[in-house]
């Protein structure tokens, strides 16, 4: 009875998140409140259990990186790089798209995707406005690039942060295992974009001078702060790479990095705290308690047994199933709640049937399916939703179907590329 | 002295008028804001000058203020061109109905000052017996008149 009720609460929360009837943080907290009120999860399980409670490693890693980003945003670095890229493209639309997407993907690998598109999208509208180009295709391409680039590292995309913590995978593990396929997917995406967005590539030589007149150096408000901020970012990346040797958890590195960034860039403490997305952090907390309740009542265990029976010990079936299933479901539901739910399931699968998980491939299948699958629709990933919002504010409405008709092609191509990659590297 | 004696007819703008004319009037008559009225003369909202400036500023600069610095001056000087051809109606959604406060044309200046202080608004709409706006009264004008006796 408790099992059925808990599953029903969970499904109701999922439905509320998917349909956006209420803000997602309300849905997750409401669900967590119900399962705690009926005693499925107690205070100890919710606050202290590594298996069924709030994953503080994820919460503090996100918090630390949000503060790092708040510092970097003040330096004007991204505006500088984006305008510099536009000038290097000399107004040629495809070259502009390639350079802006490469910048977005690279930044998304280190910072979260939403921040990256928040920084790159306004510059893109400025530059396309100068060139007399339609901004919508460029904005859609940037959201897609950010989701592809974000898949490369532990800190690039929230689903990866959850997976990294749950499976105890390091920054280097992600870079080594997902980095190559992200590079391949990015190259494929840029080639496909040449045809996908071809109608947007009109070149007007007379308008190029309007872009060349932009002065990117003016974006840098404080050169000293920029240099210090970049030095701190470099140190954070080195610490992530040497995480095992330093014996520091990723969350500790992010928090130390956040503190160092505040000291380096300076500014008001309040400004940094205002830029932390508290709602997102609380959403994660509610989600973890809710998913923990599914583990507590044995729902995840039963599902894991069912999946194990279904794949009959075949790692190819198991991994391709997770890759494809994750891609489809992440297109429909935000990939964060999806991965939060799937992580304990994959953990049980990996522990119960190690033959399905050579080289942690189950986790890579989950990450790639969720990260790349999020590109398929306008609501699949947070970056997509954010870029549509920016476009609307600037009088460039991007409809659900406009985004989806490009996103679904890119998601299909990139997920399809994962099949031979995973098979050749881990399952042969 | 009554509010009708100080009411400025230029402070009232109809939804059908060109926005560029309204903006020009704010500059020429040093008005901090205009009162938008319907085509029948019914007061609808206050249009502060800062709201018109907001229209001139491109959305991408509002999203990322750092971009204001990278735009060359020659281009910035042409930004107001986007107001040309738009009616005042276009900004009605962005105007401030909450700042709207009316006062009868035969009220005293002290009554006007009391309404302004209570509603925290820098401009009042002076209306006649039929409820038609005949002009606006600014906090600056009322304060100037009250200080004048010192």
B39, with CB counted inside 10 A (0-12, 13-18, 19+), is exposed
Contact B70 A219 (CB under 8 A): yes
Contact A394 B60 (CB under 8 A): yes
What local confidence, expressed as pLDDT, does residue B86 receive? Answer: 86
What local confidence, expressed as pLDDT, does residue B149 receive? Answer: 65
Give the residues across from B37 on adjacent strands. B14, B43
Least reliable range by pLDDT among A16-20, A196-200, A285-289: A16-20
What local confidence, expressed as pLDDT, does residue A316 receive? Answer: 93
- Estimate to the nearest angstrom the gap between the alpha carbon of A200 and the chain centroid: 27
Chain A residues within 8 A of B71 when measuring between CB atoms? 126, 214
**Do B88 and B22 form a contact (C-beta atoms < 8 A)?**
yes
Chain B residues within 8 A of A390 when measuring between CB atoms? 63
**Do B139 and B123 form a contact (C-beta atoms < 8 A)?**
yes
Percent of chain A whose predicted confidence (pLDDT) is above 90: 59
**Do A146 and A116 form a contact (C-beta atoms < 8 A)?**
yes
**Do A175 and A68 form a contact (C-beta atoms < 8 A)?**
no
Q: Does A221 touch chain B (CB under 8 A)?
A: yes
Give the DSSP letter string of B84-129.
TT-BGGGGTTTSBGGG--EEETT-BHHHHHHHHHHHT-SEEEEE-T
Mean pLDDT (chain A) is 91
**A with B: how many residue pairs have Cβ under 8 Å apart?**
60
pTM of the predicted protein model: 0.83
What ipTM does this complex have? 0.71
Contact B67 A118 (CB under 8 A): no
Q: Does B27 touch chain A (CB under 8 A)?
A: no
Contact B60 A210 (CB under 8 A): no
| Strands across the sheet containing B133-138 | B102-104, B123-127, B133-138
**Do A334 and A372 form a contact (C-beta atoms < 8 A)?**
no
Distance CA A111, CA A160 (A): 12
User: What is the DSSP-derived secondary structure letter of residue A199?
Assistant: G
For the cut 80, the answer to whether the pLDDT of residue A423 exceeds it is yes
Distance CA A426, CA A351 (A): 17
Q: Which residue has the tokens 């859609």?
A: A140
Binned at pLDDT 50, 70 and 90, residue A184 comes out as very high
Give the residues across from B123 on adjacent strands. B138
Residues 43-62 of B with CB under 8 A from A: 58-62
CA B92 to chain A, closest CA, distance in angstroms equals 17
Contact A394 B61 (CB under 8 A): no
Distance CA A232, CA A238 (A): 10
Go through chain B and tell me how many residues it has: 150
Phi then psi dihedrals of residue B96, to 5 deg: -115, 90
Average pLDDT over residues B22-50: 87
Binned at pLDDT 50, 70 and 90, residue A409 comes out as very high
For the cut 90, the answer to whether the pLDDT of residue A275 exceeds it is no
Distance CA A216, CA A84 (A): 6
What local confidence, expressed as pLDDT, does residue A96 receive? Answer: 94
Smallest CA-to-CA distance from B34 within B54, B7, B56, B12 is with B12
Q: Which residues of A263-299 are buried (b: 16+ CB within 10 A; e: fewer)?
A: ebbeeeeeebeeebbeebbbbbbbbbbbbbbbbbbeb
Higher pLDDT, A209 or A190: A190
Judged by DSSP in three states, A374 sits in coil
pLDDT in tens, A317-357: 999 999 999 999 888 878 888 898 899 999 988 998 899 89
- Estimate to the nearest angstrom the gap between the alpha carbon of A150 and the chain centroid: 5
Phi then psi dihedrals of residue B42, to 5 deg: -85, 125
Binned at pLDDT 50, 70 and 90, residue B74 comes out as confident
Q: Does B75 touch chain A (CB under 8 A)?
A: yes
What local confidence, expressed as pLDDT, does residue A74 receive? Answer: 85
Judged by DSSP in three states, A153 sits in coil
Instruction: Please work out, in degrees rounded to the nearest 5, the angle formed at the alpha carbon of residue A15 by the alpha carbons of A13 and A20.
Output: 95
Give the residues across from B2 on adjacent strands. B108
What local confidence, expressed as pLDDT, does residue B120 receive? Answer: 85
For the cut 90, the answer to whether the pLDDT of residue B79 exceeds it is no
CA closest to B61 among chain A residues: A122
Q: What is the dihedral of CA B48, B51, B57, B59, to 10 degrees?
A: 170
Residues 179-198 of A with CB under 8 A from B: none
pLDDT in tens, B80-115: 887 888 888 888 887 788 888 899 999 998 999 999
Distance CA A378, CA A43 (A): 37
Give the residues across from B36 on adjacent strands. B13, B45
Q: Which residues of A309-330 are buried (b: 16+ CB within 10 A; e: fewer)?
A: eebeeebbebbbbbbbbbbebb
What local confidence, expressed as pLDDT, does residue A306 receive? Answer: 87
| Run of H or E residues at A165 | helix A158-167
Average pLDDT over residues A64-89: 89
Distance CA A98, CA A428 (A): 34
SS (H, E, C) A246-272: HCCCHHHHHHHHHHHHHHHHCCCHHHH
Side-chain half-sphere exposure of A330, counting CA atoms within 13 A:
35
Chain A residues within 8 A of B62 when measuring between CB atoms? 393
CA A75 to chain B, closest CA, distance in angstroms equals 9
pLDDT in tens, A114-159: 888 988 999 999 999 888 899 999 999 999 999 999 999 999 988 9
Chain B residues within 8 A of A267 when measuring between CB atoms? none
What local confidence, expressed as pLDDT, does residue A146 receive? Answer: 96
Contact A219 B61 (CB under 8 A): no
Give the DSSP letter string of A353-366.
-GGG-GGGHHHHHH
Distance CA B85, CA A386 (A): 31
Chain B residues within 8 A of A79 when measuring between CB atoms? 64, 66-67, 70
Chain B residues within 8 A of A218 when measuring between CB atoms? 69-70
Q: Does B67 touch chain A (CB under 8 A)?
A: yes
CA closest to A124 among chain B residues: B60
- Estimate to the nearest angstrom the gap between the alpha carbon of A350 and the chain centroid: 23
């Amino acid at each position: 009875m408790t099992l059925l009720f808990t599953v029903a609460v969970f499904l109701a929360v999922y439905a509320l998140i998917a349909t956006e009837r209420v803000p997602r943080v309300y849905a997750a907290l409401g669900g967590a409140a119900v399962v705690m009120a009926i005693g499925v999860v107690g205070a100890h399980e919710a606050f202290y259990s590594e298996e069924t409670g709030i994953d503080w490693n994820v919460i503090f890693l996100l918090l630390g990186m949000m503060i790092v980003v708040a510092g970097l945003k003040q330096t004007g670095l991204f505006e500088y790089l984006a305008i510099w890229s536009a000038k290097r493209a000399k107004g040629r639309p495809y070259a502009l798209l390639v350079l802006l997407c490469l910048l977005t993907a690279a930044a998304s690998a280190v910072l979260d995707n939403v921040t990256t598109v928040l920084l790159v999208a306004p510059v893109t509208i400025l530059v396309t406005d100068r060139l007399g180009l339609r901004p919508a295709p460029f904005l859609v391409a940037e959201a897609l690039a950010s989701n592809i680039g974000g898949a490369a590292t532990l800190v690039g995309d929230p689903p990866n942060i959850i997976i990294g913590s749950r499976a105890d995978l390091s920054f280097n593990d992600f870079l080594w295992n997902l980095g190559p396929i992200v590079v391949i997917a990015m190259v494929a995406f840029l080639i496909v974009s040449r045809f996908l967005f071809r109608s947007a590539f009109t070149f007007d030589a007379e308008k190029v001078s309007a872009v060349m007149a932009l002065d990117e150096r003016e974006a840098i408000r404080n050169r000293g702060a920029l240099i210090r901020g970049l030095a701190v970012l470099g140190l954070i990346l080195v610490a992530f790479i040497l995480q095992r040797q330093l014996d520091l958890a990723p969350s500790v590195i992010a928090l130390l990095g956040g503190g160092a960034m505040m000291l380096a860039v300076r500014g008001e403490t309040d400004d940094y705290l205002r830029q932390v997305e508290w709602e997102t952090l609380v959403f994660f907390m509610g989600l973890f308690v809710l998913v923990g309740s599914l583990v507590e009542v044995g729902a995840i265990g039963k599902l894991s047994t069912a999946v194990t029976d279904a794949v009959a010990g075949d790692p190819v079936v198991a991994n391709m199933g997770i890759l494809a299933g994750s891609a489809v479901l992440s297109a429909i539901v935000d990939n964060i709640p999806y991965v939060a739910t799937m992580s304990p399931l994959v953990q049980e699968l990996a522990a119960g049937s190690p033959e399905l998980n050579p080289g942690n491939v189950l986790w890579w299948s989950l990450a790639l399916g969720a990260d790349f699958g999020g590109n398929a629709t306008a609501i699949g990933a947070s970056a997509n939703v954010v870029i549509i919002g920016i476009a609307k504010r600037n009088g460039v409405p991007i409809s659900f179907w406009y985004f989806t008709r490009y996103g679904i092609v890119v998601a299909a191509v990139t997920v399809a590329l994962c099949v031979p990659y995973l098979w050749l590297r881990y399952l042969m | 002295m009554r509010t009708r004696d100080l009411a400025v007819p230029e402070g009232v703008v109809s939804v059908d008028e060109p926005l560029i004319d309204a903006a020009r009037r704010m500059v020429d008559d040093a008005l901090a804001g205009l009162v938008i009225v319907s085509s029948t003369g019914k007061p609808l909202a206050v249009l502060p000058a800062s709201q018109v400036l907001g229209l001139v500023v491109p959305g991408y600069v509002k999203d990322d203020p750092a971009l204001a610095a990278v735009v060359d001056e020659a281009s910035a000087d042409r930004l107001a061109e986007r107001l040309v051809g738009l009616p005042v109606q276009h900004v009605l959604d962005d105007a401030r109905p909450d700042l709207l406060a009316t006062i009868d044309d035969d009220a005293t200046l002290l009554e006007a000052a009391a309404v302004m202080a209570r509603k925290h608004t820098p401009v009042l709409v002076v209306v006649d017996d039929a409820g038609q706006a005949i002009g606006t009264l600014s906090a600056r004008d009322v304060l100037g008149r009250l200080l004048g006796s010192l």
